[in-house]
């Protein structure tokens, strides 16, 4: 394979770095909005599989408390600076710029391979912005490898000299300071914790749904297919079934945002939680890296007998992480919060109920959590605003 010309390879790296930087900065913005704006839905959340939120809000969305999108922006910014200032397009001798970029790109390539595996295999999610970044890193690595450059082995010997030259260049010095300070500021000011904003409204403070919007929602709702769930609603006029995973961020959001709506219809509307942990131990064939999801569901089942199930649910949704919740932490909370002192003895019995719930979810083709059914009609995978959920419940109550 013939090496690429210096000018052409430099131009390709610049284009790829600009595309990657745009994707990384947009990812940072989306991640920030997900954590600070209740009910925020980004343009890249198409469905339960094509979803940026599922990747950003997972344990793989940050490294050491720093969102990986910020680290990506730092990498692409550094590549742009090196390609722009340290890679002469018409150098007489092979330049060092491509070698420095290649040295940066090799660990970056290994890291995105890990992230891609986590997204596509573990989370079963496709993040559009992430994919653009992955392609950009791969492309930059290939181009830098093929470009005319000094051998990587020469870099340690010339690094101090090249740094001294860069420091004497005002433009290079300013760029280095901006990259360093910008990364530190972004990392330190970013919201801590990888759970979305959860400022739950009350029914009284929810936005008013206009008559025209209510009519459109009613027409759409009538067109939704209906499943026969065969679930006893205990005489309630409206039965809402939620397939839930206690390590799913959106499950926690809907738990808190929808609670006032269900409480306002107490006695007429019954919410039934079915367990659909995204963990293969209790839900065969499903794995999203939620390694304590089975224990969490079991803890809630055990807490029912103690009358502390709601307290257990509150604790689980308040401790989704990061850091990632562990089975031992769930067992300790079941003891301290819910009063369950024999978790291990009850675990196999609880697993049987969880697997039955998960099997029902599989039969209903539940593809993500949370999935809601209202009197058998499935809600869309994107979260509804609480006021719109309230309208649907009112429609069902009038039938």
pLDDT in tens, 242-273: 999 999 888 988 998 899 999 999 999 999 99
The CA distance from 96 to 89, in Å, is 12
Residue 76 has pLDDT above 90, yes or no: yes
Would the pTM of this model clear 0.75, i.e. be above it? no
Band (202; pLDDT cuts 50, 70, 90): low
**Using an 8 Å Cβ cutoff, are 243 and 366 in contact?**
yes
Residue 212 pLDDT greater than 60, yes or no:
yes
Reported CATH class of domain 6-189: mainly alpha
pLDDT of residue 195: 60
Residues in the chain: 399
Residues carrying CATH 3.40.30.10, the chain: 211-397
CA angle 186, 32, 84 (to 5 degrees): 50
Residue 204, sorted as left (phi over 0), alpha (psi -120 to 50) or beta, turns out to be alpha
Mean pLDDT of 274-302: 91
Helix (H, G, I), strand (E, B) or coil at 126: strand
319-347 mean pLDDT: 91
Residue 322's pLDDT is 65
List all residues 6 or more positions away from 11 whose beta carbon is below 8 Å from its beta carbon. Answer: 89
Distance CA 187, CA 132 (A): 22
DSSP line for 242-287:
EEE-TT-HHHHHHHHHHHHHHHHTBTTEEEEEEE--SSTTTSTT--
Is the pLDDT higher at 327 or at 123? 327
Residue 208's pLDDT is what? 86
Mean per-residue pLDDT, 81-90: 83
Task: Give the contacts of 269 (CB within 8 A, at least 6 positions apart).
Answer: 236, 237, 238, 239, 240, 262, 393, 397
pLDDT above 70 (res 22): yes
Confidence band (pLDDT; 50, 70, 90) for 274?
A: very high
Q: Is the pLDDT of residue 346 over 70?
A: yes
Lowest mean pLDDT among 154-168, 196-210, 243-257, 353-367: 196-210
Per-residue pLDDT, averaged over 346-367, amounts to: 94
- CATH 3.40.30.10 for the 211-397 domain, yes or no: yes
Assess whether pLDDT exceeds 70 at residue 355. Answer: yes
Measured between alpha carbons, how far is 124 from 283 in angstroms, rounded to an integer? 15
Query: In terms of DSSP bridges, do strands 238-244 and 371-374 run parallel, antiparallel, or are they unpaired?
Result: antiparallel
In the beta sheet, which residues pair with residue 371?
Answer: 243
Per-residue pLDDT, averaged over 34-46, amounts to 74
Residue of 296 and 196 predicted with greater confidence: 296
Return residue ranges of the chain for CATH 1.20.1440.130.
6-189
Give mean pLDDT, residues 132-148.
93
pLDDT of 197: 56
Q: What is the pLDDT of residue 4?
A: 62
Q: Give percent of the chain with pLDDT exceeding 90.
A: 49
Residue 197 near residue 252, CB atoms below 8 Å: no
């Amino acid at each position: 394979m013939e090496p690429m010309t210096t000018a052409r390879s430099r131009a390709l790296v610049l284009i790829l770095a600009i595309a990657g930087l745009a994707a990384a900065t947009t990812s940072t913005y989306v991640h920030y909005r997900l954590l600070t704006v209740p009910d925020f839905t980004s343009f890249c959340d198409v469905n339960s599989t094509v979803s940026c939120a599922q990747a950003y809000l997972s344990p793989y969305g940050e490294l050491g408390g720093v969102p990986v999108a910020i680290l990506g922006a730092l990498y692409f910014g550094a590549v742009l600076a090196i390609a722009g200032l340290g890679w002469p397009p018409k150098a007489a001798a092979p330049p060092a710029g491509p070698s420095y970029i290649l040295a940066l790109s090799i660990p970056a390539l290994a890291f995105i391979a890990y992230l891609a595996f986590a997204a596509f295999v573990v989370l079963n999610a496709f993040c559009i912005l992430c994919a653009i970044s992955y392609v950009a890193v791969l492309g930059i690595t290939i181009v830098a490898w093929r470009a005319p450059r000094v051998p990587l082995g020469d870099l340690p010997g010339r690094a101090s000299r090249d740094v001294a030259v860069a420091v004497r260049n005002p433009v290079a010095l300013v760029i280095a300071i901006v990259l360093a300070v910008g990364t530190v500021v972004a990392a330190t000011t970013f919201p801590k914790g990888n759970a979305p904003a959860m400022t739950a409204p009350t029914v009284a403070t929810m936005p008013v749904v206009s008559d025209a919007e209510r009519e459109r929602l009613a027409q759409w709702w009538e067109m939704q297919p209906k499943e026969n769930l065969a679930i006893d609603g205990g005489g309630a006029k409206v039965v809402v079934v939620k397939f839930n995973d206690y390590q799913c961020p959106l499950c926690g959001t809907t738990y808190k945002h929808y609670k006032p709506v269900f409480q306002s219809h107490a006695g007429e509307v019954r919410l039934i939680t079915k367990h659909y942990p995204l963990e293969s131990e209790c839900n065969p064939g499903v794995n999203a890296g939620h390694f304590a999801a089975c224990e969490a569901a079991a803890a809630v089942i055990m807490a029912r007998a103690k009358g502390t199930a709601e307290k257990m649910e509150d604790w689980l949704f308040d401790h989704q992480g990061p850091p990632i919740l562990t089975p031992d932490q769930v067992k300790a909370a079941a003891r301290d919060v819910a009063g369950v002192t024999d978790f291990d003895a009850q675990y196999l019995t609880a697993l049987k109920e969880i697997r039955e719930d998960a099997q029902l979810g599989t039969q209903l083709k539940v593809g993500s959590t949370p999935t809601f059914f209202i009197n058998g009609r499935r809600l869309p995978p994107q979260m509804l605003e609480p006021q719109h959920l309230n309208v649907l419940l009112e429609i069902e109550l009038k039938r």
